[in-house]
Structure 1
Amino acid sequence: MIRVLVVDDNPTVRDALRAHLDASGAALVVGEAGDGRAALDAARRLRPHVTLLDYRMPVADGLSIVAELARLTAVLTLTSDDSDAVVREMLRGGARGYLVHGEFDPAELLRAVTVVASGRSWLSPAAATVAAEALRRAQETAEAAAREAERLDRARRRYGLTAREREVLDLVAEGLANVVIAERLGLTEKTVKNHLHAVFTKLGARNRTEAVLRWTGR
Protein backbone atom coordinates (compact mmCIF):
# COMPACT_ATOMS: atom_id res chain seq x y z
CA MET A 1 0.00 0.00 0.00
CA ILE A 2 1.47 3.34 -1.09
CA ARG A 3 1.22 5.98 1.63
CA VAL A 4 0.29 9.35 0.15
CA LEU A 5 0.28 12.89 1.54
CA VAL A 6 -1.97 15.36 -0.31
CA VAL A 7 -0.87 19.01 -0.25
CA ASP A 8 -3.22 21.59 -1.77
CA ASP A 9 -4.81 24.76 -0.40
CA ASN A 10 -8.18 23.81 -1.92
CA PRO A 11 -10.07 21.36 0.36
CA THR A 12 -12.32 20.29 -2.51
CA VAL A 13 -9.27 19.19 -4.52
CA ARG A 14 -7.88 17.35 -1.48
CA ASP A 15 -11.17 15.53 -0.98
CA ALA A 16 -11.31 14.47 -4.63
CA LEU A 17 -7.74 13.19 -4.61
CA ARG A 18 -8.33 11.28 -1.37
CA ALA A 19 -11.46 9.68 -2.81
CA HIS A 20 -9.71 8.57 -6.01
CA LEU A 21 -6.65 7.14 -4.29
CA ASP A 22 -8.35 5.48 -1.32
CA ALA A 23 -10.83 3.81 -3.69
CA SER A 24 -7.99 2.32 -5.75
CA GLY A 25 -6.97 -0.21 -3.10
CA ALA A 26 -3.32 0.41 -4.01
CA ALA A 27 -2.78 3.77 -2.30
CA LEU A 28 -3.84 5.26 1.01
CA VAL A 29 -3.97 8.97 1.82
CA VAL A 30 -2.37 9.20 5.27
CA GLY A 31 -2.56 12.96 5.62
CA GLU A 32 -3.40 16.34 4.12
CA ALA A 33 -1.95 19.85 4.27
CA GLY A 34 -3.12 23.20 2.97
CA ASP A 35 0.17 25.07 2.84
CA GLY A 36 3.88 24.41 2.45
CA ARG A 37 4.84 24.72 6.09
CA ALA A 38 2.14 22.27 7.16
CA ALA A 39 3.25 19.95 4.36
CA LEU A 40 6.78 19.71 5.75
CA ASP A 41 5.46 19.06 9.25
CA ALA A 42 3.14 16.34 7.97
CA ALA A 43 5.87 14.71 5.86
CA ARG A 44 8.22 14.52 8.85
CA ARG A 45 5.49 13.07 11.03
CA LEU A 46 3.76 10.68 8.62
CA ARG A 47 6.65 9.61 6.35
CA PRO A 48 4.55 9.15 3.19
CA HIS A 49 5.97 7.31 0.21
CA VAL A 50 4.62 9.99 -2.16
CA THR A 51 3.50 13.57 -1.66
CA LEU A 52 1.14 15.23 -4.14
CA LEU A 53 2.29 18.84 -4.06
CA ASP A 54 0.49 21.90 -5.37
CA TYR A 55 2.56 24.83 -6.60
CA ARG A 56 0.51 27.86 -5.55
CA MET A 57 -0.24 27.84 -1.81
CA PRO A 58 -0.26 30.29 1.08
CA VAL A 59 2.44 30.54 3.79
CA ALA A 60 4.99 28.65 1.65
CA ASP A 61 4.43 27.65 -1.97
CA GLY A 62 5.48 24.40 -3.58
CA LEU A 63 8.68 25.75 -5.07
CA SER A 64 9.95 27.07 -1.75
CA ILE A 65 9.66 23.66 -0.06
CA VAL A 66 10.16 21.11 -2.85
CA ALA A 67 13.88 20.58 -2.22
CA GLU A 68 13.42 19.95 1.50
CA LEU A 69 10.29 17.89 0.93
CA ALA A 70 12.07 15.74 -1.66
CA ARG A 71 14.52 14.64 1.02
CA LEU A 72 11.61 13.22 3.02
CA THR A 73 9.36 11.74 0.34
CA ALA A 74 8.95 11.29 -3.41
CA VAL A 75 7.32 14.47 -4.72
CA LEU A 76 4.70 14.44 -7.47
CA THR A 77 3.76 17.99 -8.42
CA LEU A 78 0.04 18.26 -9.02
CA THR A 79 -1.02 21.75 -10.08
CA SER A 80 -2.87 23.79 -12.68
CA ASP A 81 0.29 25.73 -13.63
CA ASP A 82 2.10 24.32 -16.66
CA SER A 83 4.36 27.29 -17.43
CA ASP A 84 7.88 26.40 -18.52
CA ALA A 85 9.51 28.20 -15.60
CA VAL A 86 7.43 26.46 -12.94
CA VAL A 87 7.87 23.00 -14.46
CA ARG A 88 11.61 23.50 -14.83
CA GLU A 89 12.12 24.81 -11.29
CA MET A 90 9.99 22.15 -9.62
CA LEU A 91 11.82 19.35 -11.41
CA ARG A 92 15.17 20.99 -10.70
CA GLY A 93 14.15 21.27 -7.06
CA GLY A 94 13.67 17.53 -6.77
CA ALA A 95 10.15 16.65 -7.87
CA ARG A 96 10.06 13.22 -9.52
CA GLY A 97 6.84 13.87 -11.39
CA TYR A 98 4.57 16.59 -12.70
CA LEU A 99 0.85 16.37 -13.44
CA VAL A 100 -1.41 19.19 -14.62
CA HIS A 101 -5.05 19.36 -13.56
CA GLY A 102 -7.34 18.57 -16.46
CA GLU A 103 -4.72 16.41 -18.22
CA PHE A 104 -5.24 13.14 -16.31
CA ASP A 105 -7.94 10.81 -15.07
CA PRO A 106 -8.04 8.75 -11.84
CA ALA A 107 -6.33 5.78 -13.52
CA GLU A 108 -3.42 7.91 -14.70
CA LEU A 109 -3.15 9.56 -11.28
CA LEU A 110 -2.71 6.13 -9.69
CA ARG A 111 -0.15 5.10 -12.31
CA ALA A 112 1.79 8.29 -11.69
CA VAL A 113 1.76 7.74 -7.92
CA THR A 114 2.88 4.14 -8.38
CA VAL A 115 5.69 5.04 -10.77
CA VAL A 116 6.98 7.89 -8.61
CA ALA A 117 6.84 5.70 -5.50
CA SER A 118 9.12 3.21 -7.29
CA GLY A 119 11.77 5.89 -7.84
CA ARG A 120 11.01 6.63 -11.47
CA SER A 121 9.59 9.77 -13.11
CA TRP A 122 6.17 10.58 -14.47
CA LEU A 123 5.57 13.72 -16.52
CA SER A 124 2.45 15.15 -18.10
CA PRO A 125 2.76 15.99 -21.82
CA ALA A 126 3.38 19.67 -21.04
CA ALA A 127 6.03 18.86 -18.43
CA ALA A 128 7.69 16.31 -20.69
CA THR A 129 8.01 18.92 -23.43
CA VAL A 130 9.65 21.36 -21.02
CA ALA A 131 12.04 18.68 -19.72
CA ALA A 132 13.01 17.65 -23.25
CA GLU A 133 13.62 21.28 -24.23
CA ALA A 134 15.78 21.81 -21.14
CA LEU A 135 17.88 18.76 -22.05
CA ARG A 136 18.24 20.00 -25.62
CA ARG A 137 19.41 23.43 -24.45
CA ALA A 138 21.83 21.89 -21.96
CA GLN A 139 23.29 19.71 -24.72
CA GLU A 140 23.65 22.70 -27.03
CA THR A 141 25.35 24.69 -24.26
CA ALA A 142 27.77 21.86 -23.53
CA GLU A 143 28.61 21.46 -27.22
CA ALA A 144 29.16 25.21 -27.60
CA ALA A 145 31.43 25.23 -24.54
CA ALA A 146 33.43 22.32 -25.95
CA ARG A 147 33.83 24.08 -29.30
CA GLU A 148 34.97 27.27 -27.58
CA ALA A 149 37.47 25.37 -25.43
CA GLU A 150 38.88 23.69 -28.54
CA ARG A 151 39.12 27.01 -30.36
CA LEU A 152 40.87 28.64 -27.43
CA ASP A 153 43.27 25.72 -27.09
CA ARG A 154 44.22 25.99 -30.77
CA ALA A 155 44.71 29.73 -30.40
CA ARG A 156 46.91 29.29 -27.35
CA ARG A 157 49.14 26.65 -28.92
CA ARG A 158 50.38 29.12 -31.53
CA TYR A 159 51.99 31.27 -28.82
CA GLY A 160 54.35 28.46 -27.80
CA LEU A 161 54.28 29.15 -24.05
CA THR A 162 56.02 26.68 -21.78
CA ALA A 163 54.05 24.83 -19.12
CA ARG A 164 55.45 27.12 -16.42
CA GLU A 165 54.65 30.24 -18.41
CA ARG A 166 51.08 29.03 -18.82
CA GLU A 167 50.82 28.46 -15.05
CA VAL A 168 52.08 31.95 -14.33
CA LEU A 169 49.75 33.55 -16.87
CA ASP A 170 46.72 31.62 -15.59
CA LEU A 171 47.41 32.99 -12.11
CA VAL A 172 47.83 36.49 -13.50
CA ALA A 173 44.41 36.04 -15.10
CA GLU A 174 43.02 35.28 -11.62
CA GLY A 175 44.23 38.71 -10.55
CA LEU A 176 47.13 37.55 -8.37
CA ALA A 177 50.19 39.71 -7.75
CA ASN A 178 53.69 38.49 -8.59
CA VAL A 179 54.57 37.89 -4.95
CA VAL A 180 51.49 35.71 -4.47
CA ILE A 181 52.18 33.80 -7.69
CA ALA A 182 55.72 33.16 -6.51
CA GLU A 183 54.47 31.75 -3.22
CA ARG A 184 51.83 29.65 -4.98
CA LEU A 185 54.33 28.09 -7.41
CA GLY A 186 57.34 27.92 -5.09
CA LEU A 187 59.35 30.39 -7.17
CA THR A 188 61.17 33.62 -6.46
CA GLU A 189 59.46 36.84 -7.43
CA LYS A 190 62.30 37.55 -9.87
CA THR A 191 61.66 34.22 -11.62
CA VAL A 192 57.97 35.09 -11.95
CA LYS A 193 58.93 38.44 -13.52
CA ASN A 194 61.25 36.65 -15.96
CA HIS A 195 58.46 34.29 -16.97
CA LEU A 196 56.11 37.22 -17.49
CA HIS A 197 58.68 39.02 -19.64
CA ALA A 198 58.86 35.92 -21.85
CA VAL A 199 55.05 35.72 -21.93
CA PHE A 200 54.70 39.36 -22.99
CA THR A 201 57.23 38.82 -25.79
CA LYS A 202 55.55 35.68 -27.13
CA LEU A 203 52.05 37.16 -26.96
CA GLY A 204 53.10 40.54 -28.30
CA ALA A 205 51.57 42.14 -25.21
CA ARG A 206 52.71 45.37 -23.55
CA ASN A 207 51.33 44.63 -20.11
CA ARG A 208 49.49 42.12 -17.90
CA THR A 209 46.04 43.21 -19.10
CA GLU A 210 46.86 42.73 -22.79
CA ALA A 211 48.48 39.37 -22.06
CA VAL A 212 45.42 38.12 -20.19
CA LEU A 213 43.04 39.35 -22.87
CA ARG A 214 44.96 37.57 -25.62
CA TRP A 215 45.39 34.40 -23.57
CA THR A 216 41.69 34.19 -22.74
CA GLY A 217 40.64 35.02 -26.29
CA ARG A 218 38.69 38.11 -25.32
Structure 2
Amino acid sequence: MGSTWLVAPPYRRLHEAAVDVVVLRCENPSVSFPELLETMGEMSAPVIVLSPRADTETVVEVFRSGMGYMVEDDFGVRVLSSAVMAAMMGNTYVSPVACAVLREAAWRGRVAGDAAERLRELLSPRERQIMELLSTGLSAQEISLRLRLAEKTVRNNLSSIYAKLGARGSTEAVLRWLGTAPAVRA
Protein backbone atom coordinates (compact mmCIF):
# COMPACT_ATOMS: atom_id res chain seq x y z
CA MET A 1 0.00 0.00 0.00
CA GLY A 2 1.31 3.43 -0.92
CA SER A 3 0.69 6.72 0.79
CA THR A 4 -0.30 10.34 0.43
CA TRP A 5 2.52 12.81 0.74
CA LEU A 6 2.31 16.50 1.51
CA VAL A 7 5.35 17.94 -0.26
CA ALA A 8 7.28 21.18 -0.40
CA PRO A 9 10.38 22.08 -2.46
CA PRO A 10 12.83 20.52 -3.26
CA TYR A 11 10.68 17.32 -3.41
CA ARG A 12 13.62 14.89 -3.15
CA ARG A 13 11.79 12.60 -0.69
CA LEU A 14 9.16 11.69 -3.30
CA HIS A 15 11.27 8.85 -4.61
CA GLU A 16 11.84 7.32 -1.16
CA ALA A 17 8.56 5.38 -0.96
CA ALA A 18 5.54 4.25 -2.93
CA VAL A 19 3.28 7.28 -3.30
CA ASP A 20 -0.39 7.08 -4.26
CA VAL A 21 -1.18 10.81 -4.14
CA VAL A 22 0.96 13.92 -3.89
CA VAL A 23 -0.51 16.99 -2.17
CA LEU A 24 1.41 20.12 -3.15
CA ARG A 25 0.85 23.05 -0.79
CA CYS A 26 2.40 26.16 -2.25
CA GLU A 27 2.02 29.91 -2.60
CA ASN A 28 2.72 30.05 -6.33
CA PRO A 29 1.69 26.96 -8.32
CA SER A 30 2.96 28.53 -11.55
CA VAL A 31 6.47 28.00 -10.20
CA SER A 32 6.09 25.05 -7.82
CA PHE A 33 3.83 22.83 -9.94
CA PRO A 34 6.14 22.54 -13.01
CA GLU A 35 9.09 21.99 -10.66
CA LEU A 36 7.20 19.18 -8.91
CA LEU A 37 6.25 17.53 -12.21
CA GLU A 38 9.86 17.66 -13.36
CA THR A 39 11.03 16.06 -10.11
CA MET A 40 8.35 13.38 -10.33
CA GLY A 41 9.61 12.34 -13.76
CA GLU A 42 8.04 8.98 -14.60
CA MET A 43 6.04 8.77 -11.38
CA SER A 44 2.35 8.45 -12.16
CA ALA A 45 0.90 9.59 -8.84
CA PRO A 46 -1.92 12.15 -9.10
CA VAL A 47 -1.32 15.60 -7.65
CA ILE A 48 -3.64 17.87 -5.70
CA VAL A 49 -2.48 21.47 -5.53
CA LEU A 50 -3.42 23.47 -2.41
CA SER A 51 -2.85 27.19 -2.79
CA PRO A 52 -4.29 30.55 -1.77
CA ARG A 53 -4.14 31.61 -5.44
CA ALA A 54 -7.36 31.53 -7.41
CA ASP A 55 -6.35 33.35 -10.59
CA THR A 56 -7.60 31.97 -13.89
CA GLU A 57 -4.24 31.24 -15.49
CA THR A 58 -2.96 29.21 -12.54
CA VAL A 59 -6.11 27.16 -11.98
CA VAL A 60 -6.54 26.38 -15.69
CA GLU A 61 -2.86 25.40 -16.03
CA VAL A 62 -3.09 22.87 -13.18
CA PHE A 63 -6.49 21.54 -14.22
CA ARG A 64 -5.40 21.08 -17.85
CA SER A 65 -2.64 18.85 -16.51
CA GLY A 66 -5.36 16.62 -15.06
CA MET A 67 -4.52 17.50 -11.48
CA GLY A 68 -6.78 18.64 -8.67
CA TYR A 69 -6.82 22.21 -7.42
CA MET A 70 -8.06 23.38 -4.06
CA VAL A 71 -8.07 27.00 -2.97
CA GLU A 72 -7.08 27.39 0.70
CA ASP A 73 -9.95 28.24 3.06
CA ASP A 74 -12.39 26.81 0.50
CA PHE A 75 -12.59 23.33 2.01
CA GLY A 76 -12.34 21.39 5.24
CA VAL A 77 -10.44 18.32 6.36
CA ARG A 78 -13.21 15.96 5.25
CA VAL A 79 -13.26 17.46 1.76
CA LEU A 80 -9.47 17.17 1.50
CA SER A 81 -9.70 13.55 2.61
CA SER A 82 -12.40 12.92 -0.01
CA ALA A 83 -10.27 14.62 -2.68
CA VAL A 84 -7.32 12.37 -1.82
CA MET A 85 -9.51 9.26 -1.95
CA ALA A 86 -10.97 10.42 -5.28
CA ALA A 87 -7.46 10.99 -6.66
CA MET A 88 -6.50 7.45 -5.66
CA MET A 89 -9.42 6.21 -7.77
CA GLY A 90 -8.42 8.31 -10.77
CA ASN A 91 -10.79 11.24 -10.25
CA THR A 92 -9.89 14.90 -10.03
CA TYR A 93 -11.30 17.25 -7.41
CA VAL A 94 -11.55 21.01 -7.81
CA SER A 95 -12.70 23.09 -4.84
CA PRO A 96 -15.77 25.30 -5.34
CA VAL A 97 -13.77 28.52 -5.79
CA ALA A 98 -11.41 26.86 -8.28
CA CYS A 99 -14.41 25.42 -10.11
CA ALA A 100 -16.00 28.87 -10.33
CA VAL A 101 -12.73 30.23 -11.75
CA LEU A 102 -12.71 27.49 -14.42
CA ARG A 103 -16.34 28.08 -15.32
CA GLU A 104 -15.86 31.85 -15.54
CA ALA A 105 -12.78 31.40 -17.74
CA ALA A 106 -14.69 29.06 -20.01
CA TRP A 107 -17.71 31.34 -20.37
CA ARG A 108 -15.59 34.46 -20.88
CA GLY A 109 -13.58 32.82 -23.64
CA ARG A 110 -16.47 31.12 -25.38
CA VAL A 111 -17.55 32.19 -28.83
CA ALA A 112 -20.87 30.93 -30.23
CA GLY A 113 -20.32 28.23 -32.82
CA ASP A 114 -16.88 27.24 -31.52
CA ALA A 115 -15.72 23.64 -31.02
CA ALA A 116 -16.94 23.51 -27.41
CA GLU A 117 -20.42 24.57 -28.48
CA ARG A 118 -20.48 21.89 -31.18
CA LEU A 119 -19.53 19.29 -28.58
CA ARG A 120 -22.29 20.51 -26.27
CA GLU A 121 -24.81 20.04 -29.07
CA LEU A 122 -23.90 16.33 -29.20
CA LEU A 123 -25.41 15.85 -25.75
CA SER A 124 -29.06 15.31 -24.89
CA PRO A 125 -30.75 17.82 -22.56
CA ARG A 126 -30.34 15.39 -19.61
CA GLU A 127 -26.66 14.83 -20.46
CA ARG A 128 -26.10 18.60 -20.62
CA GLN A 129 -27.78 18.93 -17.21
CA ILE A 130 -25.50 16.23 -15.79
CA MET A 131 -22.39 17.83 -17.31
CA GLU A 132 -23.36 21.21 -15.87
CA LEU A 133 -23.49 19.63 -12.40
CA LEU A 134 -20.32 17.57 -12.96
CA SER A 135 -18.48 20.74 -13.96
CA THR A 136 -19.32 22.27 -10.57
CA GLY A 137 -17.41 19.46 -8.85
CA LEU A 138 -20.31 17.20 -7.88
CA SER A 139 -19.81 13.43 -7.87
CA ALA A 140 -22.13 10.97 -9.63
CA GLN A 141 -23.75 10.22 -6.28
CA GLU A 142 -24.32 13.91 -5.54
CA ILE A 143 -25.71 14.47 -9.04
CA SER A 144 -28.10 11.55 -8.59
CA LEU A 145 -29.39 13.05 -5.35
CA ARG A 146 -29.74 16.51 -6.87
CA LEU A 147 -31.62 15.23 -9.95
CA ARG A 148 -33.52 12.52 -8.07
CA LEU A 149 -32.14 9.81 -10.36
CA ALA A 150 -30.61 6.45 -9.58
CA GLU A 151 -26.83 6.69 -9.29
CA LYS A 152 -26.59 3.92 -11.93
CA THR A 153 -28.60 6.13 -14.33
CA VAL A 154 -26.20 9.01 -13.78
CA ARG A 155 -23.18 6.74 -14.30
CA ASN A 156 -24.73 5.38 -17.53
CA ASN A 157 -25.29 8.95 -18.72
CA LEU A 158 -21.69 9.83 -17.84
CA SER A 159 -20.42 6.86 -19.88
CA SER A 160 -22.46 8.09 -22.84
CA ILE A 161 -21.19 11.63 -22.34
CA TYR A 162 -17.56 10.50 -22.21
CA ALA A 163 -18.03 8.56 -25.46
CA LYS A 164 -19.69 11.50 -27.21
CA LEU A 165 -17.05 13.97 -26.04
CA GLY A 166 -14.17 11.57 -26.72
CA ALA A 167 -13.11 11.87 -23.09
CA ARG A 168 -11.42 9.19 -20.98
CA GLY A 169 -12.94 10.42 -17.75
CA SER A 170 -14.56 13.24 -15.85
CA THR A 171 -11.59 15.63 -15.92
CA GLU A 172 -11.22 15.45 -19.67
CA ALA A 173 -15.00 15.69 -20.17
CA VAL A 174 -15.23 18.79 -17.95
CA LEU A 175 -12.29 20.41 -19.74
CA ARG A 176 -14.03 19.89 -23.07
CA TRP A 177 -17.39 20.97 -21.65
CA LEU A 178 -15.87 24.19 -20.37
CA GLY A 179 -13.95 24.73 -23.59
CA THR A 180 -10.56 24.70 -21.90
CA ALA A 181 -9.23 21.63 -23.74
CA PRO A 182 -8.85 20.87 -27.41
CA ALA A 183 -11.95 19.25 -28.89
CA VAL A 184 -11.74 15.86 -30.53
CA ARG A 185 -12.16 15.56 -34.25
CA ALA A 186 -15.53 14.18 -35.25
> For residues 31-82 of structure 1, what are the alpha-carbon distances to aligned partners after superposition, in whole Å with 9 as ceiling and x for unaligned?
xxx31xx21x32233231111112336xx93233254348522000011112
Give the alignment's TM-score, normalised by structure 2.
0.50
2:65 equivalent to 1:85: no
Unpaired runs of 5+ residues, structure 2, are 118-186
What residue is the counterpart of 1:4 in the other structure? Answer: 4
SS of aligned partner of 1:122: coil
2:123 equivalent to 1:123: no
Using a 3 Å threshold, how does the CA distance of structure 1 residues 70 and 131 change in structure 2: closer, same or farther?
farther
What residue is the counterpart of 2:80 in the other structure? Answer: 109
- Percent of aligned pairs with the same residue? 24
Alpha-carbon shift at residue 95 of structure 1 (Å): 4.7
Q: How many residues align?
A: 115
2:14 equivalent to 1:43: yes
What residue is the counterpart of 2:48 in the other structure? Answer: 76
Between the aligned partners of 1:141 and 1:77, the Cα distance in structure 2 is 32
Of Structure 1 and Structure 2, the greater helix share is in: 1
Between the aligned partners of 2:61 and 2:31, the Cα distance in structure 1 is 12
Unpaired runs of 5+ residues, structure 1, are 8-33, 147-218
What residue is the counterpart of 1:63 in the other structure? Answer: 33
Highest CA radius of gyration, 1 or 2? 1
2:85 is aligned with what amino acid?
Answer: T
2:95 is aligned with what amino acid?
Answer: S
Between the aligned partners of 2:66 and 2:57, the Cα distance in structure 1 is 14
Using a 3 Å threshold, how does the CA distance of structure 1 residues 83 and 138 change in structure 2: closer, same or farther?
closer
Between the aligned partners of 2:42 and 2:109, the Cα distance in structure 1 is 25
Between the aligned partners of 2:35 and 2:113, the Cα distance in structure 1 is 30
